[in-house]
Structures are given as C-alpha cells and as structure tokens.
Amino acid sequence: MMQSFDDAGKFGKEMADSGLRSFASVSKNMQAIAVEATEYSRRAFEQSGSVVEKLVQAKSPDKAMEIQMDFVRQAYEGFVGQATRMSELYADMAKEVYKPFETLGVKAR
C-alpha cells in the first residue's frame, strides 16, 4: 500500500516538473513568435513608406500602376512567407510543449 502512495507521489512530481518545462517552452516560443511578428510588421511598414515615396515621384499613371502592382506582388509573397514561418513556429512550439509529457505516458503504462 505504501509503495502505491510513493509511486503516486513520484508520478505527481514528474507531472509537475513536466508541466513547468512545458510552460517554460511555451514562454520561450511565444517570445520568438512575438519577435517574428514585430519584425514582419516593421518590414511591412517600411516597405509601405517606400512605396508611397515612389508613388509621389511617379511621372505617369502607368508608372504609378506598375509601382502599385510590384508592391502588391511583394506584399502577397511576403505575407505567404510570413504565414508559413508563423505556422512552423507554432508547430515547433506544439512539439516542444508536448515533449516533456511523452515519457510520462510511457511510464504510466
């Protein structure tokens, strides 16, 4: 009987330790995601400002349209690339968060 209480105590401690490691992983990954989102926003803002400057200097409506089309293409490609990067970061975070609990499932069996 005492052995099962000891086992339950050890399992509880391992579960708490795994939870703390998981929480630390979430915190670290959320910081990386926030940095990535901030950098993307900064780049997008700078690109928008650059496009406005080019549009002001455009000599003809055709040139202005060309500048806008280039901007739309670059913005779309940048967004798709950023969305892919963010999904990779979230997937990596999910893997890291789950990792401390993998060994608990094996031990509990």
Decide if 47 contacts 74 (C-beta within 8 A). yes
Task: Report how far apart, in Å, the C-alpha atoms of 59 and of each of 36, 65, 74, 102 are.
Answer: 37, 11, 22, 63
Query: Considering the domain boundaries, does residue 84 fall inside one?
Result: yes
* Within a domain: 75: yes
Q: In the prediction, which pLDDT does 45 show?
A: 95
- Count: domains in the chain: 1
pLDDT score recorded for residue 104? 66
For tokens 């795994």, the residue is 18
Question: pLDDT value at position 102?
Answer: 77
pLDDT score for 2: 56
109 SS3 class: coil
What domain range includes position 26?
Answer: 10-108
Q: Which amino acid is at 52?
A: V
Give the pLDDT of residue 5.
67
pLDDT along the chain (109 residues), means of 10: 67 78 86 95 95 94 95 96 96 86 63
**Residue that has been written with the tokens 């690339």 in this structure:** 81
Q: What is the helix (H) or strand (E) element at residue 27, kind and residue range? A: helix 2-57
